[in-house]
Chain A
Amino acid sequence: MVKKIIFSILIFFVSLNANIYESNCVSCHKKLPVTIDKYFYRYLLKYSSESNVKNAMLEYMKNPTKDKTIMPEAFILRFGIKKPSNLSNKQLKEALDIYWNEYKVFGKLK
């Protein structure tokens, strides 16, 4: 009983520390063989600017289809299309902002 309570409290604190991106995106993507940054650069390759990239990602997560994916067909055949996200627009945008800041090219080139 005591162990259970301690465990739940631990989970609670971990989830408090982990942001919405870590808990909702990274947690699942970790299980896939393709690292999460690869998606980012594929989006960048197609959509270029910050707003375009974010909009495209948002659209896809809300309503993922085969037409909209930026991943190659082989990847889709093997892993399929993800399910629509349950997060609200605001939460998705927050997660996307964190994602963008993590991998954006601005200020990283030497």
Chain B
Amino acid sequence: MLVLKNLDIDLFRSEKKTLLGFFSLYTILCIVILIFISYLYYSFQKDLMLQEQRVKLQEYSSDFVFRLKDLHINFDKYKYYPRDEKFKSAIYDSSKKRIFSTLKSNEINFDKVIYITDDKIHFITQPESYYLGTKYIIIEIPEDKAWLENVYSFLFYFVFIALFFMLILGYFLLKLFLKPMKDALYLLDRFIKDTTHELNTPVSTIVTNIEMIKKASLDEKLSKKINRIDIGAKTISNIYDDLTYLTLNNKIISNNKNVNLSRLIEQRVEYFHTLANAKRIDFVVNIKNDVYLFIDEKKLSKLLDNLLSNAIKYNKLSGVIKVTLNEKHLSIQDSGKGMSKHELENLFIRYKRFDSSVGGFGIGLSIVSLIAKEYELDIKFTSKLDKGTKVIITW
């Protein structure tokens, strides 16, 4: 995956899968082409070698035919088959029945003139007349393996070098294909960066000012309105935080310390109280006191915020959110619509949203996954359609 790394873009699982698919397909294609070329080269060299041997074999065969003719004429006087130390031979009649053979390899291919079988070269010829009934004469000589060694060593270097060049070509092709995707991602990131920068001041102003308003001194109607503004501002603030976290992902230096998780969860639940109230959602909190975790507080808070806001966002009206904490794990369970198996599998993919009826950019769980990975937290989602989703974080 060096290629992908060098491109310096954050690729998602599905894209990585596509690229990997493309790359393996490309490699297989290259190998198939190389095998084909190698085979052509091999057959060409083999034919060349056989052509060279053919001249010699033709000489042997005409000599053999001459002696066979002589035997035919004098068959009543002697019956010695014409042998030669330079080659082995066999004679077959027109029904391909063996008359006599001194061959080492008896696998005979009558459809060919010259071929290799069992490390032997066979040359088949036909005499002008069927001496002793012979229609086919097979001349056999041992195959000289030197040509094959030459072919193998050539092919080894050829395939190695060609594959190397093809893979380099593949790398550039891949880069070319990725360019539009990379550009699109770059634009999106750029846009988010600019947007977040511009949002910073107004959002902070709204949130701080709302916090400064003493709600007790207001009349009920105004208090309700302020509450709604508070919810809106907190949602924006949350999205803002998420976007900042994502765009500055690699640049945030973790400030790890022992964090009182119990207190932090209580704070975050309190923070989301107004948001939950708007949907008449109740929190059922069961938190063990003084649970500590060595972690960056801001990141942990971000993780909790995302899980809690999801639990609210995807919950039904008048639903319940159960938050349970003990020494080893934290669970947040909602009573929403739940997720299918497919949705569960693609949960952490950035910009992926399953329910467009609720707001959001689809980056929350991607952030959760990043933080969990950094601190080696195990996150497990279980979900039942129409029953709700449960997240268990174990450390």
Q: Which residues of A contact B100 (CB under 8 A)?
A: 105, 109
* Chain A positions 29 through 47: 1 when the CB is less than 8 Å from some CB of chain B, otherwise 0: 0000000010001001111
Interface hits, A71-110 → B, CB 8 Å: 105-106, 108-110
Q: Are A53 and B79 in contact (CB under 8 A)?
A: no
- B72, B81, B94: the one contacting A49 at CB < 8 Å is B94
Q: Is A51 an interface residue (CB 8 A)?
A: yes
A50 within 8 A of B: yes
Contact-size category for A: 10 to 19
Chain A CB within 8 A of B271 CB = no
Residue A19 lies at the interface, judged by CB distance under 8 Å to chain B: no
A59 to nearest B CB, angstroms?
A: 17
- B124-162: CB near A (< 8 Å → 1, else 0) gives 000001111111000000000000000000000000000
B72 touches A50 (CB 8 A): no
Report A34 CB to chain B, min CB distance, Å: 12
What is the bound-complex CA distance between A51 and B135, given in angstroms? Answer: 14
Asked whether A110 lies within 8 Å of B80 as measured between CB atoms, the reply is: yes
The answer to whether A109 and B99 have CB atoms under 8 Å apart is yes
* Closest residue of A by beta carbon distance from B96: A49
Q: Which of A43-63 contact B (CB under 8 A)?
A: 44-53
Q: Contacts of B75 on A, CB cut-off 8 Å?
A: 41, 105
Determine if B133 and A105 form an interchain contact, defined as CB atoms under 8 angstroms apart.
yes
- Does residue B224 face the partner (Cβ distance < 8 Å to A)? no
A43 to B94, CA, bound (A): 13
User: Nearest chain-B residue to A104 (Cβ)?
Assistant: B133
Query: Is B95 located at the chain interface by the 8 A CB criterion?
Result: yes
Given A109-B81, A109-B100, the answer on whether A45 and B129 have CB atoms closer than 8 Å is: yes
CB closest residue in chain B, given A103:
B75
Residues 57 to 95 of chain B near chain A (Cβ within 8 Å):
72, 75-76, 79-81, 93-95
Complex alpha-carbon distance, A69 and B366, angstroms: 98
Cβ–Cβ contact A37 & B76, under 8 A: yes
Give Cα distance in the complex from A45 to B69, angstroms: 10
B373 close to chain A: CB less than 8 A? no
Tell me whether B298 is interfacial, beta carbon within 8 Å. no
B384 touches A (CB below 8 Å): no
Interface status of B97 (Cβ within 8 A of chain A): yes
Instruction: Enumerate chain B residues within 8 angstroms of A49, measured Cβ to Cβ.
Output: 93-95, 97, 133, 135
Which residues on A sit within 8 Å (CB–CB) of B99? 105-106, 109
Name the residue on A nearest B101 (C-beta): A109
Separation of A61 and B1 alpha carbons in the complex (Å): 85
- A53-B133, A109-B81 in contact; A48/B94 too (CB < 8 A)? yes
Give, as a whole number of angstroms, the nearest-CB distance from A50 to chain B. Answer: 7
| Residue contact A45 to B72, C-beta cutoff 8 Å | yes
Q: In the complex, which residues of chain A have a beta carbon less than 8 angstroms from the beta carbon of B93?
A: 48-50
Contact present for A44 and B95 (CB under 8 Å): no
The answer to whether B130 touches A50 (Cβ under 8 A) is no
How many whole Å from A97's CB to the nearest CB in chain B?
16
Max chain B Cβ within 10 angstroms of own Cβ: one of A45, A50, A105:
A105
Query: Is A48 a contact partner of B135 (Cβ separation < 8 A)?
Result: yes
Given A37-B76, A41-B72, A45-B72, CB of A50 within 8 Å of CB of B97: yes
Contacts of B135 in A (CB 8 A): 48-49
Residue of B nearest to A51 (CB): B95
Given contacts A50-B93, A50-B97, A52-B94, contact A110 B134 (CB under 8 A): no
> Contacts of A108 on B, CB cut-off 8 Å?
79
Cα-based distance from A49 to B136 in the complex (angstroms): 11
A46→B130 contact, CB < 8 A? yes
Known contacts A37-B76, A108-B79: does B130 contact A45 (CB below 8 Å)? yes
Given A52-B94, A105-B75: A44 in contact with B80 (beta carbons within 8 A): no
A110 surroundings in chain B (CB, below 8 A): 79-81
Scoring B75, B129, B134, B135 by chain A CB atoms within 10 A of each residue's CB, the highest score goes to: B75
B79 adjacent to A47 (CB under 8 Å) = no
Chain A neighbourhood of B80, CB < 8 A: 109-110
- Residues of A within 8 Å of B81, CB to CB, are 109-110
Across-interface contacts of B79 in A (CB, < 8 A)? 108-110
- A residues whose Cβ falls under 8 Å from a Cβ of B: 37, 41, 44-53, 105-106, 108-110
User: Using a CB–CB distance below 8 Å, which chain B residues touch chain A?
Assistant: 72, 75-76, 79-81, 93-95, 97, 99-100, 129-135
Instruction: A45-B129, A50-B95 are known; give 6 further A-B pairs, CB within 8 A.
Output: A41-B75, A44-B130, A49-B97, A50-B93, A109-B79, A110-B79
Q: List 12 A-B contacts (CB under 8 A).
A: A37-B76, A44-B133, A45-B129, A45-B130, A45-B133, A46-B130, A49-B93, A49-B97, A105-B132, A106-B99, A109-B100, A110-B80
